[in-house]
Amino acid sequence: MNDSGKKFDVLIVGGGVVGTALLYTLSKYTDLRNISLIEKYPDLGLVNSASTKNSQTLHFGDIETNYSFEKAKSVKRMADMVMKYLENEKKSNPDYELKLFSKYSKMVLAVGKNQVDELDKRFPTFSVLFPNLRVIKRDEIGKMEPRVVEGRSPDQEILALVTEDGYTVDFKNLCHSFVDNAKKSNPDVSIQLNTRLLKITKNSDSYIVKTNNGEIQASAVVIAAGGHSLMIAKSLGYGKNLSILSMAGSFYTAPKVLNGKVYTIQVSKLPFAAIHGDPEVHNENITRFGPTAKPIFQLERHEMSTFMEYWKTFGLGINPVISLFKIIFDKVLFSYIVVNFLYDLPFIGKRLFIKQIRRIVPGLKMNELKYGKGIGGTRPQIVNNTNRKLEMGEAKLTGDKIIFNITPSPGASTCLGNAYSDTSMLMGFLDNKFKFNKEAFEKDLM
């Protein structure tokens, strides 16, 4: 559909899970009808929402040991929305052509006395928030995940927190589900694929968006384009003190050696996900291990066309360069990044990475492990050039009737929670001429 020249009440830029969740929320739970979503690629969810570009995990905060209680509480509230959406769809639309999720057990594994003590102390506090979470010891770990115990020294202490509520999600398919349901509520919603934002300007009462398919006008705009969101924000004068550190994650694959998700304890002082193993969302006979983490100078993995866009977003002044050097050459982070670069190298990478995987599956053989070619995406981490630090968690900027969603935290798991807050904000942007039925949203999803 080409709606060039038309004026919309709301324009969403980006057809990933964040943008499509917002489209769904606006279409079903508000009386807004004049809405458009544009996506530069020929399909929805091809960047970080694709199953090959992320860890396929719905994060609740129960086994993510780097979360504080308050962070876990916040994440759980939003992840529960996605969980309820998935379960509602399974019941109400069982014949839907796209598989949205698989469900497995999940555990966080402590290895060695220090980690065991840490996990043991964590359980009483977090079991209040997650009543289905329980402590299991070696024998039960072995029953649930035989390969986790096989080949492990009997003298090595292990302990796990486990729950049956492990959701492996195809977020690309979820994008399509959101759009299909948005169209059911609002058949007039405009979806424009192969439509790339080239320039955005603001006049007295609206935004003018120039695309490769013509101009679009909108009273309010939401940019949900990952790292590109900051590039677009800077073109309008927002976020000038910020840069992007693009962290690329890769994965290795093996035959089925795990029955569910097995996470490891988060390394203190590191802002990146701990290595874990879990079944592929569409093939339980393949186990994926990762992610690795290394900085790259692209906004999208495997897309060299985003190299120059990265530097536009990063900024070429002295402050961003000083900030980057200060962050990367932190003693703990530097050694971590160097090792992770090695993990991606042919021959040596697999031999180094298998040592990390053997903390989960001690008996994993070298010939069982393969580098996942083409698997892995990027996460845009915000660099604050004022204090020269990485800003962890959600990255969002708000301007004059415009929102820039840069990095959701902890990723796609919060897409509906993000849509809820953005929808509330948009109602104000549009002078409260439209109504957001929060009661219906909360009844369905909270």
Which alpha helices (H) appear in 93-186, and where do they start and end? 113-129, 138-144, 146-149, 171-185
Q: Residue 271 corresponds to which tokens in the numbers above?
A: 């802002």
**Residues 359 and 329 both lie in one domain:** yes
The structure tokens 């990367």 sit at: 328
State pLDDT tens for residues 147-181: 999 999 999 999 999 999 999 999 999 999 999 99
* End-to-end Cα, the chain, rounded Å: 34
Q: Is residue 109 a part of any domain in this protein?
A: no
Q: Residue 113 corresponds to which tokens in the numbers above?
A: 């006395």
Which alpha helices (H) appear in 171-246, and where do they start and end? 171-185, 227-235
**Residues 293 and 329 both lie in one domain:** yes
- Count of domains forming the chain: 2
**Residues 180 and 218 both lie in one domain:** yes
Q: Is residue 163 a part of any domain in this protein?
A: no
Q: Is residue 374 a part of any domain in this protein?
A: yes
**Residues 225 and 324 both lie in one domain:** no
The structure tokens 């609740």 sit at: 60
Q: Residue 109 corresponds to which tokens in the numbers above?
A: 């594994």
Interhelix angle 171-185/17-29, rounded to 10 degrees, is 20
Domain boundary among 372, 390, 408: 390
Q: Is residue 67 a part of any domain in this protein?
A: yes
CATH of residue 413's domain is 3.50.50.60
Burial class (CB in 10 A: 0-12, 13-18, 19+), 125: exposed
Query: Which H/E stretch holds residue 158?
Result: strand 158-169
Q: Is residue 114 a part of any domain in this protein?
A: no
pLDDT mean across residues, the chain: 94
Query: Which H/E stretch holds residue 350?
Result: helix 348-357
**Residues 235 and 184 both lie in one domain:** yes
Dist. CA 103–CA 132, nearest whole Å: 15
Per-residue pLDDT of the chain (446 residues; tens, 9 = 90+): 567 678 999 999 999 999 999 999 999 999 999 999 999 999 999 999 999 888 889 999 999 998 899 999 999 999 999 999 999 999 998 888 899 999 999 999 999 999 999 999 999 999 999 999 999 999 999 999 999 999 999 999 999 999 999 999 999 999 999 999 999 999 999 999 999 999 999 999 999 999 999 999 999 999 999 999 999 999 999 999 999 999 899 999 999 999 999 999 987 677 677 899 999 988 999 999 999 989 999 999 989 999 999 999 998 789 999 998 998 888 888 888 899 999 999 899 999 999 999 999 999 999 999 999 889 889 898 999 999 988 877 889 999 999 999 987 788 999 999 999 999 999 999 999 999 999 999 999 99
State pLDDT tens for residues 388-429: 988 877 889 999 999 999 987 788 999 999 999 999 999 999
Residue 60 · residue 48 · CB < 8 Å = no
Closest by CA to 182, choosing from 435, 411, 12, is: 12
**Residues 83 and 205 both lie in one domain:** yes
Dist. CA 279–CA 54, nearest whole Å: 13
Dist. CA 89–CA 100, nearest whole Å: 9
Q: Which domain holds residue 427?
A: 7-100+169-240+393-445
DSSP string computed for 261-319? EEEEPPPTT--SPPPEEEEETTEEEEEEEE---EEES-SSTT-GGGHHHHHHHH--SHH
Residue 107 · residue 145 · CB < 8 Å = yes
pTM: 0.95
**Residues 236 and 190 both lie in one domain:** yes
**Residues 183 and 96 both lie in one domain:** yes
Q: Is residue 151 a part of any domain in this protein?
A: no
